[in-house]
Amino acid sequence: MREFTNSLAARADFLLAFFILLAAVVAAAGLIRYILRKNTERRGHVTEAHQLYSFLSDNPFQVYVLVRGKDAFPLFVSDNVERILGLDKSDILTDVFAIARCMEAEESGKLEKLYRGWDRKEPLEVDFPYVNRKNQKKGDAFLRVDYSAGTDVFTIVIEDITRRKAEENSLREKLSHAEAENDAKTEFLSEMSHEIRTPMNGILGLLELAKMDLSNTEALREYLDKTQNLSRFLLNLINDILDLTRIESGKIQLEQESFDLIAMAQKLRAMFQKTIREKNLHFELRVEGFDIRWVTGDEMRLSQVIINFLSNAVKFTEPGGSVILTFRQMEKIENHLRLMIQVRDTGKGIEPEFLTHIFRPFEQESSMIAKKYGGSGLGMSIADNIIRLMGGQIVIDSEVGKGSDFTVFLSLPVAEPEESGAREKEVRSGRVPEQEEEFWYLKGAHVLLAEDNDINARITMAILDKAGVHTDRVLTGLQAVETFTASEEGFYDVILMDIQMPEMDGWEATKQIRKLPRKDARFIPIYALSANSYVEDKRHSMAVGMNDHIAKPIDFNELKKKMGAAVRDSRNAWNASRKVGVEHKG
């Protein structure tokens, strides 16, 4: 029994010792978990601090500096200060004011002045240009300084804003350009309103006077002549505006056809002879050094430039002065002829200040010039652009009170001389003078006119009727095809075809007529009468089978001359084809 009791006591002691050991193990495990948790939290804080430091140091655009307020001691400088500003980090840690080394002295002085006036309540912010001290690369920076009174610490952030600044400048330039374009548009409309309304007022006024004075034939003729002159001025203005618009949009096209330079010079002389004689000016045409006459280019556009020079020379030269037009062959290089065309006058000359912007649209030397001499100021701009398109150059030499030289230097491909062809020169039985030969062929001619505008049709038919022409009018291109198809072969001598018409336009109608299985469909002259006057319109008219493209408003004398020559040639071709047909039948 005593043994059993002793055994129980021993077991109790063992259990007590076991439970004490178990409690110690549990307590130790809890302590270990607590220590591990604390160590983990401490490592997390270290990681976060490391990530923040890495961000501040690796940021490609911003430099960070912390400075103690009481003694300006640098507490922290991000490593990227060397990459962005080209400054050694150790220098700034020694002296925070070393940052100023990347600034110009003037900028540093401005910043110092701003700092002294800073109240430290709101952040100090300023942009400044800087220079990387290592690679000397220039840029723009944004500086922000914050002050914390509680910790007596300045936080300095310097951000590289070079790219942003460049984008802002680009946007600013675009805005400025847009505003300038808008101002130019407003000025353009104002100028055009004035230039159009002034002659329109004259036209309407003269027509009103004409209605009031119908019985006075002499006065009526004067009114109509002046109305015609003002209308031509308006037409020239419209042409100038369209030319300038197409030049600026890059849509203008130049002809590439052979022409005779000497013949062109003589045409220009004939064009201005009457005006120059009426103003009592001495005029001289000089043609120098030419052994080549024929070149390839746009004769009309080149003439347009020289006409502008001659018009200005006549306009600004007082009676008794002189105007000299010179065509000079310079040299031939690789089948290209270099030439000089010059207009010299003894007029008023041009102020040197105006010469610097004489080629700008709507530019005139002064408002008094516009009032006294008129003009829109578009001519010189158009001339300069045309010659540049041709690969040439305009040189101006002028002296106030003595006169001006306007000189074109140009190189054009040499062309083969054109043959005169088989055009008849004799006049039948002396019935009409030679210069009226073409008009003679119009008498009794039958013309098919396709024109949907009643006023245009009435004018054309009345003028042709005076020349002895019989005209049948249709309203659409489709009616033109049907009317011609229904007519007897050889009945119509000419077709005048408007381009823009309902049902079928003039171009399509021409193609349909040329396809018809009858001989006269190949030979009949077809002329485009169109308000579309561009080179590409003319080319398209010729491509679809038309003989010529006459731009509206129509020069009826020129039209009648062309029609007469075409009727003659067409009849000759038609008669020849009939003769061949008869011989084949025989």
> How many residues does this entry show for the chain?
586
Q: Over range 266-292, report the average pLDDT.
A: 90
How would you classify the pairing of strands 322-333 and 282-288?
parallel
Report pLDDT digits (tens) over 158-205: 888 888 888 888 888 888 888 877 776 776 667 677 678 878 888 888
Specify the range with the lowest mean pLDDT, choosing from 175-179, 223-227, 504-508, 545-549: 175-179
pLDDT at 533: 73
What is the CATH number for 547? Answer: 3.40.50.2300
pLDDT above 70 (res 378): yes
pLDDT (mean) for 10-33: 40
Range from 197-206, 226-235, 370-379, 516-525 that averages highest in pLDDT: 516-525
Q: In what order do the strands lie in the sheet with 403-413?
A: 282-288, 322-333, 336-345, 403-413, 393-399
pLDDT digits (tens, 9 = 90+) for 90-117: 888 888 888 888 888 888 888 888 888 8
Residue 180: give its domain's CATH number: 1.10.287.130
CATH code of residue 106: 3.30.450.20
Residue 556's SS3 state is helix
36 three-state secondary structure: helix
Do the Cβ atoms of 231 and 223 come closer than 8 Å?
no
pLDDT of residue 303: 92
Q: Which of 206-210, 527-531, 573-577 has the lowest mean pLDDT?
A: 573-577
Contact assessment for residue 28 and residue 38, using Cβ atoms and an 8 Å cutoff: no
End-to-end CA gap in the chain: 168
490 Rama sector, left if φ>0, alpha if ψ -120 to 50, beta otherwise: left
Residues 446 and 335 in one domain: no
Whole-number Å distance between alpha carbons of 339 and 23: 117
Give the rounded percent of residues in the chain with a pLDDT score beyond 90: 27
- With a cut of 80, say whether residue 535 has pLDDT above it: no
- Ranking 216-220, 267-271, 552-556 by mean pLDDT, the lowest is 552-556
Last residue of a domain, one of 198, 223, 248: 248
**Which pLDDT tens digit goes with each residue over 22-57?**
343 334 334 334 433 444 444 444 344 444 445 555
Q: What is the mean pLDDT of residues 323-337?
A: 92
Q: Report pLDDT for 376.
A: 56
Looking at the fold, whether 351 and 275 belong to one and the same domain comes out as: yes
Share of the chain residues as helix, strand and coil, in percent rounded to the nearest 5: 55, 20, 25
**198 in a domain, yes or no?**
yes
pLDDT at residue 188, rounded to an integer: 67
Q: In this model, does residue 371 exceed pLDDT 50? A: no
What is the structure's pLDDT at 359?
74
Cis-peptide, bond into residue 525, ω within 30° of zero: no
Max intra-chain CA distance, the chain: 178
pLDDT given for residue 26 in this prediction: 38
The answer to whether residues 278 and 368 belong to one domain is yes
pLDDT band at 428 (very low <50, low <70, confident <90, very high): very low
Residue 36 located in a structural domain = yes
Q: What is the 3-state secondary structure (H, E, C) of 349-383?
A: CCCHHHHCCCCCCCCCCCHHHHHHHCCCCCHHHHH
Q: What is the mean pLDDT of residues 124-139?
A: 87
Q: Which domain holds residue 218?
A: 166-248
| One domain, residues 132 and 197 | no
Q: Is the pLDDT of residue 555 over 60?
A: yes
pLDDT at 31: 37
**Across 22-36, 110-124, 420-434, 450-464, which has the greatest mean pLDDT?**
450-464
The reply to whether 6 falls in a domain is: no
* pLDDT of the residue at 411: 94
pLDDT at 507: 94
The CATH number for 403's domain is 3.30.565.10
- Above 50 in pLDDT, residue 523? yes
Tell whether 437 and 531 lie within a shared domain: yes
Residues 31-63: b if buried by 16+ CB within 10 A, e if exposed: eeeeeeeeeeeeeeeeeeeeeeeeebbebeebb
Q: Nearest Cα to 345, choosing from 390, 304, 285, 406?
A: 406
pLDDT at 18 over 50: no
Closest alpha carbon to 573 in 528, 527, 520, 526: 520
Q: CA 264 to CA 305: how far, in whole Å?
A: 12
Do 155 and 189 have their domain in common? no
- Whether residue 563 sits in one domain with residue 492: yes
Average pLDDT of the residues in 279-289: 92
Among 160, 182, 208, the domain-final residue is 160
Residues 580 and 459 in one domain: yes
Report the C-alpha gap between 526 and 544 in whole angstroms. Answer: 10
211-261 pLDDT, tens per residue?
888 888 898 999 898 888 888 888 877 877 777 777 777 777 788 889 999
**Domain termination residue (choose one: 160, 183, 205):** 160
Neighbour-count burial for 110-141, b at 16+ CB within 10 Å, e otherwise: ebeeeeeeeeeeeebeeebebbbbeeeeebbb
Cα separation, 298 vs 179, whole angstroms: 36
Q: Which residue has the tokens 């800073």?
A: 118
Q: Looking at the structure, do residues 54 and 141 belong to the same domain, yes or no? A: no
Closest CA to 561 of 463, 492, 420: 463
Question: Residue 14: is its pLDDT beyond 60?
Answer: no
- Verify that 152 and 178 share a domain, yes or no: no
Token pair 């040499």 in the structure block, residue: 414
158, 141 contact by CB (below 8 A): yes
Alpha-carbon distance values, 273 to 118, 226, 311 (Å): 79, 20, 12
Phi, psi (rounded to 5 degrees) for 506: -65, -35
Q: How many CB atoms lie within 10 A of CB 157?
A: 18
List Cβ neighbours of 516 (8 Å cut-off, separation of 6 or more): 484, 485
pLDDT of 6 strictly over 60:
no
Q: Does residue 102 share a domain with residue 33?
A: no
Residue 382 inside a domain? The answer is yes
Tally Cβ neighbours within 10 Å of residue 106.
10
- Confidence (pTM): 0.53
φ/ψ of residue 542, rounded to 5:
-70, -35
Cα(440)–Cα(567) distance, rounded to whole angstroms? 10
Average pLDDT, the chain: 79
For residue 441, give the nearest of 480, 494, 484 by alpha carbon. 494
Q: Name which residue leads in pLDDT, 99 or 407.
A: 407
Which of 91-95, 421-425, 538-542, 582-586 is predicted with the least confidence, judged by mean pLDDT? 421-425
Domain assignment present for residue 422? The answer is no
Q: What confidence tens digit (pLDDT) does each residue in 470-487 have?
A: 999 999 999 999 999 999
Average the pLDDT over 508-517 and give the result.
94
Q: Residues 428-441: what's their mean pLDDT?
A: 53
Residue 12 lies in a domain: no
Q: Strand 526-530 and strand 548-551: pairing?
A: parallel
d(CA 356, CA 367): 17
Strands 257-260 and 73-77: unpaired
Same domain, 434 and 581: yes
Domain count for the chain, please give it. Answer: 5
| Contact residues for 553 (Cβ-Cβ < 8 A; gap 6+) | 231, 235
Share of the chain above pLDDT 70, in %: 80
Query: Residue 409 domain-assigned?
Result: yes
Closest CA to 87 of 158, 31, 147, 164: 158
Q: Is residue 420 part of a domain?
A: no
Let me know how many helices (H) and strands (E) the chain has, helices first.
18, 17
